[in-house]
Amino acid sequence: MLASTTYSKGDMMYRKILIIACLIEVSFLIFLQYRYNHILDVFSFIGALVFFMVLSYFLKFQLSKKRKEVILFLQALFLIFVPIYVISTLPQYTYESAVDKFTQKLEEPYVVNKQKNTLIQNELNEIKKGYMFTVEQNSKVNSYAFDPWTGNYYEVQD
């Protein structure tokens, strides 16, 4: 007889809901990574959510009721914590809005070329990721680093 037959339909439904919620949150985090040009540090959260999905699957095997309840509670707590934390730490600017902010003062024509992200140092000497782009205007090319949390930008000298 399989150990999974000892669990009620309610337990199985709760496990399925947690797995679906984890999948939704992983998709949300991947979307945010794309939207913010991969400057967010969410890979640890994605790893933890995948771990919880695997753990939820294996909860159908024999565990004491108390351990199962503790694990399910921790999963639910983590599922609540992750989006609140990530949303509260999002930068003010996406890559596109950063370029728009910078190019508002420029006269046409100009070309903006996307570059790899860069590390920037803010006023508090914290080092974090920032956007990098080059602007070509009147055959002159300048590179800029943009701090997506403050909206400040800096010309990068070659």
User: What pLDDT is recorded for position 93?
Assistant: 93
Q: What's 134's DSSP letter?
A: E
Q: What percent of the chain has pLDDT over 70?
A: 89
Residue 58: closest CA among 43, 68, 48: 68
Count how many Cα atoms sit within 13 Å of the Cα of residue 13 in the half-sphere of its side chain: 3
**pTM of the prediction?**
0.76
Residues 96-134 have pLDDT tens digits of: 899 888 888 877 787 888 888 888 876 777 788 888 888
Instruction: Give the dihedral sign, CA 133/136/137/140.
Output: positive
Q: Which residues contact 152 (CB under 8 A, 6 or more apart)?
A: 146
Segments of 30-146 assigned E as strands: 111-114, 118-121, 127-137, 140-146
Decide if pLDDT at 68 tops 80: no
Average pLDDT of the chain is 82
Q: Specify the residue for token string 């508090």.
A: 124
